[in-house]
Chains A and B, each alone.
Chain A
Amino acid sequence: MSANVNVNLLTPEFILAGMGLLVLSLDLVLPKARRGILPWIGVAGLIAAVATALIYRWDRVEELYGGVFIADRYSLFFFAFLVILGGAVMIASVDYVKQHIKFPGEYYGILIFSILGMVLMASAGELLTAYIAMELLSFSLYVLVALRKYDSKSNESAAKYILLGAFSSAIMLYGISMVWGVTGTTFYDGIAAHLTANPDLDIGLIVGLSLIVAGLGFKVAAVPFHMWAPDVYEGAPTPVTAYLAIGSKAAAFALILRLFSEGLLPAIEDWRVLIATLAAATMVLGNLVAIRQENIKRMLAYSSIGQVGYLLLGVASLGVVDAGGAVVFSERASTGIMVHLVGYAVANLAAFLVVAVVYSRTGSDQISDYRGLAKKSPYLSLVLSVALFSLAGLPFFAGFVTKFYLFTAGAEAGFLWLSGLAMVASLVSLYYYLRVIQRAYVDQPSEGDEETAVERSTFFVPLTSWLMLGVLFVGMILIGVWPTELAAAADSASDALGTVRDVSTALVR
């Protein structure tokens, strides 16, 4: 198509953008009664995009525009993961949107655009592209959070999210400008080359990188940049909360992982302790504050802050300095992060979907209103328990395996104390997860027996949610019992991060 750039490589991204536009335009022409098919059109498009990407990019390693966009196994892994994740969120929100949100076309269209933003965050090889992709994700999320516009809590959380989101974007952009000022480049490999050539960091570079870390810290809600998370999570529509907790974090970690391993790895000695401190503070504070929460969305918000702590542990252990003083990229750590992201996403989505279904029935998100859930709906409480056990990291569920990968990688990189702390934090999390499960199974429903009988008959789970919960349930068990395939995929993605890309043939066409 173009003189020197193979734009066909971007076909999957174009499919995503086209699907977003299609869903948005269909909403304008379809009669209101037929708008139920919008999410399914969207899901079909997402499947097409994943299939195209897998077929077309399976063995390709290419860069566009000298590294603005990178197509490799890592991008492919996150393309598949993030698009499937977005599709799952889309299916999971079908019932909720029908009941509570007046703008189905906008909801699904913007959801697809945000997936496009996430995917580009993972494949950007350069700070500005990564930043603008992150802005696409953030803008979409600002709108999605606010879509219940007659709900004052949704308004409050949207206002907080927009203000803090814009603030953190500005901080990050300022950091990028300082990094560019010192290194003269925004490309990850250029930054790495600069760091290798100048082992003593310039103070401008230190401040710039700290600002970038702070900006990204806001996006993933790492302590001390986490304050917005519980309020925003509580007020947002529940499927959007799930998406915030999973999608935006996974995408931000995709960006962080590529930035830190391809750009900042040579200076690992300078930032690993900082990141490890952030990780320790995040996992301790997130898990301790979660104990006190009475609202389940707030509890899950704090628990997801805790999970960010574990993931940061992986980031801190991304490299080891060998005997010769050279920095060696630790594939175990990056594999651990990716595997844990997948396990965390599946379990958290299941938990939030249960919360959404319960909210549709009871109109409440209080943990005390979960009492007797096992009697009212055995299926819901089973999936909820498995999800919470998986988040806590009990054996046979996804969380155990993925945490095992992550914590051993941390211990190998010399962060034994941090891995130990992470295990203690997991035990703490088990305590507050068990409180919910106790409410569901042990506590009796507060109403009289007749009322319960009535409630049980009305407490049905909509079909779409029922099926989605089933898929997630199987996913959690499957990852827990048989994680080899997932680990292999993450391994080959890590390989792509660790090796220098050979793209000499791909650039000019």
Chain B
Amino acid sequence: MSAIVFYVLAVITVIGALGVVLDRNVVRATLSLLIAMLGVAGIFLVAYAEFLALAQILIYAGAVTIVILFAIMLTRTTDLNINLDNPQRPVAFLIAVGVFVLLTLTFIYSDVPQLAEPDSVAVAIAESNSTGFETVGDSLFNQWAIPFEIASVILLVAMVGAIALARGDDNEPAVDASVEINEVSA
């Protein structure tokens, strides 16, 4: 049962991913990306990783796709006189096929114990009809507390960088704002 679901989702994901690469229209490529992301979320569900599926839909399918669409809207197509055909295309195709063959062979011949059967803990959680968020919370805030806190600093850096770089006008805000505050505090 879960194998059939997996293969259906895998086909959807691959079709979405191919659409991203092959479609010449950026908006359609973005929507293909959305399909691929949703397919991956489904695959997470097949693997009993409900939290990951939720995060995938919330962050990737929801937020990231929107940011990409905004970026497309902000770009004037008239500014983009870029030739999408580039002579390296066949080379890139060969490399992609090569990597695909290599990875496929790897997964066929590799002895990967983690992939052989679903994680017993995850299955138990799914059977007990709970969401499994508790296990995620437990490992995230206990064993993996340090990476978690680093992640918050990364988010801060990303936010500061995004604002500093995307803000249209540098001259007035910083100056005005600080002057105002000084007057108020004085």
A: residues with CB less than 8 A from B are 5, 10, 17, 20, 24, 28-32, 64-66, 68-69, 102-103, 106, 109-110, 113, 116-117, 120, 128-129, 132-133, 135-136, 139-140, 142-143, 146-147, 149, 178, 180-182, 184, 202-205, 207
Contact = CB atoms under 8 A, between A and B. Distances in A.
Contacts of A128: 144, 147
B154 interface: yes
B110 interface: yes
Contact of A139 (B158, B165, B182): B158
Given A30-B178, A181-B115, A203 B110 contact: yes
Given A29-B178, A68-B143, A117-B150, 8 more contacts: A28-B177, A29-B181, A129-B146, A143-B161, A181-B112, A182-B113, A203-B106, A203-B109
Given A29-B178, A32-B174, A113 B157 contact: yes
Nearest to B149: A17
A113 B153 contact: yes
B165 A136 contact: no
A149 B165 contact: yes
A140 B158 CA distance: 8
A59 B107 CA distance: 45
Contact of B175 (A32, A132, A142): A32
B182 A31 contact: yes
B150 A139 contact: no
B103 interface: yes
Prevailing SS type, chain A contact patch:
helix
Contacts of A135: 154
A110 B160 contact: yes
B124 interface: no
Contacts of A205: 110
B108 to A, nearest CB: 9
B110 A69 contact: no
Interface residues of B, number: 37
Prevailing SS type, chain B contact patch:
helix
B153 A116 contact: yes
A120 B150 contact: yes
Contacts of B146: 10, 64-65, 68-69, 120, 129
Contact of A31 (B147, B160, B179): B179
A133 B150 CA distance: 7
B105 to A, nearest CB: 8
Contact of A184 (B113, B153, B161): B113
B164 A147 contact: yes
Contact of B161 (A28, A68, A110, A182): A110
B173 to A, nearest CB: 11
Given A135-B154, A146-B165, A202 B111 contact: yes
A257 to B, nearest CB: 20
Contacts of A17: 153
Given A29-B178, A68-B144, A103 B153 contact: no
A204 B147 contact: no
B151 interface: yes
Contacts of A102: 170
Contacts of A146: 161, 165
Contact of B154 (A10, A31, A132, A204): A132
Contacts of B109: 203
Nearest to B163: A106
* 7 residue pairs, one from A and one from B, having the closest CB atoms: A204-B110, A143-B161, A181-B112, A181-B114, A132-B147, A207-B106, A139-B157
Contacts of B114: 180-182, 184
B107 to A, nearest CB: 7
Contacts of B106: 178, 203-204, 207
A142 B142 CA distance: 30
